[in-house]
Amino acid sequence: MKLLDVYSIYDIAIERAKGSLLWDEKGHQYLDYYGGHAVISIGHGHPHYVQRLTEQLGKIGFYSNSVRIPLQEQLAVKLANASGKTEYHLFLCNSGAEANENALKLASFHNGRRRIVAFSNGFHGRTSLAVAVTDNPKLAAPVNQQSGVSLLPYNDIEALEDFFRRMGNEISSVIVEGIQGVGGIREASRPFLQAIRRLCDQYGAVFVADTVQCGYGRSGHFFAHDQAAVEADIYTMAKGMGNGFPVAGMLVAPHIHVTKGMLGTTFGGNHLACAAALAVLEVIEQEQLMNHASSMGQYILDQLHQVPALTQVRGRGLMIGFDVPGSIPDLRERLLHRHRIFTGSANPNVIRLLPSLTISKEETDYLLEAIHTELETCSSNQ
Ligand code: PLP
């Protein structure tokens, strides 16, 4: 049997990893400045994480949501402390798309409305509603096409206000990333997020903050949306939450009405998933990784801003992007094949840096040096 051919992949098989280093089956070492797509939050094989998961597996790995799972309660307390959303309620599931799907559905249950507002360049996942609010028609099959979704220009307060004036009483929810990831590292402006909050309050719509990629401390805030000093009604989370173990969830504000049976999942919140999520929060706290993400992110941004060939350097914390210079369109491939550094990409030709929150200055300098070398090689060949 062959694998369904849906991914464009590098012919590299990673066999083991530690911190921000990876080794392939031939023993070659790589620097992971991609974090397996913003998933690796506390570094590969962190000893505390390995120990907590191993111990948990020795006790019990899974039981269904038909019984009390105290680890879920511990995780809720830990999340409340880490995020500051102490009054919110936690629902656990398995992936970012599923978290968004549940958030949009819950919003609609809550206010009985159907229309969803999403934004240009946004990405929210590939399940039915999540893909319908994602700004990429190629990802949506005819069966996913929803007439109730309105895609508005990102960071355009006037367009948003105008839309609410006309349709406000029909809008169930507004979903927005704090920093667009797949869209190329574009941050939602503070006034834009504040306008969403104000309009949702005014018209009874639910503000859904998709923090799947930009959350869990990556931006230096627990949720990237926190920079705007507004609270969303629902926060969705995934990627960094389990450091590679599939676990996702949403934090739901107390005024959102739920009844038993409204939401559910077989695997969500199982013992092993909770152990992974707890281990991540413990390490973030013990090693002060949010502060580290802030300062290391600022260091990278400062260094990249000084490279004249790089334009549009942007981002916050350890979620950074820049446009690849036209003179060196294959910069990402060069970094991988000549320097053995993994980075991320976004269309049209953006490099995304999404390393573990534990990334060191030495590792960062190695990346910066490689970028300099490639830019110099390219300009001396011209
Ligand atoms: N939301 C955002 C902002 C994402 O970046 C992603 C994945 O890249 C998703 C949702 C979907 O998450 P998942 O792939 O876990 O379903």
Q: Report the pLDDT value the prediction gives residue 146, as an integer from 0 to 100.
A: 84
User: Which ligand 1 atom is the nearest neighbour of the CA of 180?
Assistant: 3
Ligand 1 centre from 125 Cα, in Å? 5
Ligand 1 centre from 40 Cα, in Å? 14
**Which structure tokens are listed for 174?**
């507004």
User: Which ligand 1 atom is the nearest neighbour of the CA of 239?
Assistant: 15
Q: Report the pLDDT value the prediction gives residue 136, as an integer from 0 to 100.
A: 96
Say if CB 318 and CB 297 are below 8 A apart. Answer: yes
Q: Does residue 322 sit in helix, strand or coil? A: strand
Cα distances (angstroms) measured from residue 253 to each of 205, 207, 212, 214, 238: 13, 10, 17, 20, 18
Categorize the per-residue pLDDT at 378 as very low, low, confident or very high, splitting at 50, 70 and 90. Answer: confident
Pocket lining: 172 vs ligand 1, CB cutoff 6 Å: no
Pocket lining: 317 vs ligand 1, CB cutoff 6 Å: no
**Which structure tokens are listed for 242?**
């389990």
Q: Give the containing element (helix H, strand E) for 350.
A: strand 350-353
| 103 closest CA partner among 299, 248, 292, 227 | 248
* Residue with CA closest to ligand 1 atom 1: 124
Q: Report the pLDDT value the prediction gives residue 99, as an integer from 0 to 100.
A: 98
The model's pLDDT over 348-370, given as tens digits with 9 standing for 90+, comes to 899 999 999 999 999 999 999 99
| 217 closest CA partner among 299, 142, 164, 292 | 292
**Residues 199-224, mean pLDDT to the nearest whole number:** 98
Distance of CA 347 to the CA centre of its chain: 17
Listed in sequence order, the DSSP H helices in the chain are 35-38, 47-59, 70-83, 96-111, 128-132, 157-167, 190-203, 271-286, 289-305, 331-339, 361-380
CA dist 112 and 120 (Å) reads: 25
Residue 381, pLDDT > 90, answer: no
Q: Report the pLDDT value the prediction gives residue 380, as an integer from 0 to 100.
A: 80
The model's pLDDT over 140-190, given as tens digits with 9 standing for 90+, comes to 999 998 889 999 999 999 999 999 999 999 999 999 999 999 999 999 999
Count of all residues that appear for the chain in the document: 382
Ligand 1 centre from 213 Cα, in Å? 7
The model's pLDDT over 322-350, given as tens digits with 9 standing for 90+, comes to 999 999 999 999 999 999 999 999 988 99
- Rounded to a whole number of angstroms, the distance between the first and last alpha carbons of the chain is 47
Categorize the per-residue pLDDT at 15 as very low, low, confident or very high, splitting at 50, 70 and 90. Answer: very high
**Residues 110-124, mean pLDDT to the nearest whole number:** 98
Crossing angle of the two packed helices 190-203 and 157-167, in degrees rounded to 10: 10
Residue type, position 193, single letter:
L
Pocket test for ligand 1, best of 213, 247, 265 (most atoms within 8 A of CB): 213
Q: Report the pLDDT value the prediction gives residue 257, as an integer from 0 to 100.
A: 87
Pocket lining: 215 vs ligand 1, CB cutoff 6 Å: no
Pocket lining: 135 vs ligand 1, CB cutoff 6 Å: no
Pocket lining: 96 vs ligand 1, CB cutoff 6 Å: yes
Is the dihedral angle over the CA atoms 372, 375, 381, 382 positive or is it negative?
Answer: negative
DSSP 223: S
Residue 131, pLDDT > 90, answer: yes
Pocket test for ligand 1, best of 129, 136, 212, 250 (most atoms within 8 A of CB): 212
Write down all domains in the chain, each with its CATH number in brackets: 14-46+288-380 (3.90.1150.10), 47-286 (3.40.640.10)
Say if CB 89 and CB 146 are below 8 A apart. Answer: no
CA dist 225 and 209 (Å) reads: 7
The residues near 308 (Cβ < 8 Å, ≥ 6 apart) are none
The model's pLDDT over 236-246, given as tens digits with 9 standing for 90+, comes to 999 999 999 99
- Whole-number mean pLDDT of the chain? 97
User: Which ligand 1 atom is the nearest neighbour of the CA of 238?
Assistant: 15
Pocket lining: 125 vs ligand 1, CB cutoff 6 Å: yes
The model's pLDDT over 266-306, given as tens digits with 9 standing for 90+, comes to 999 999 999 999 999 999 999 999 999 999 999 999 999 99
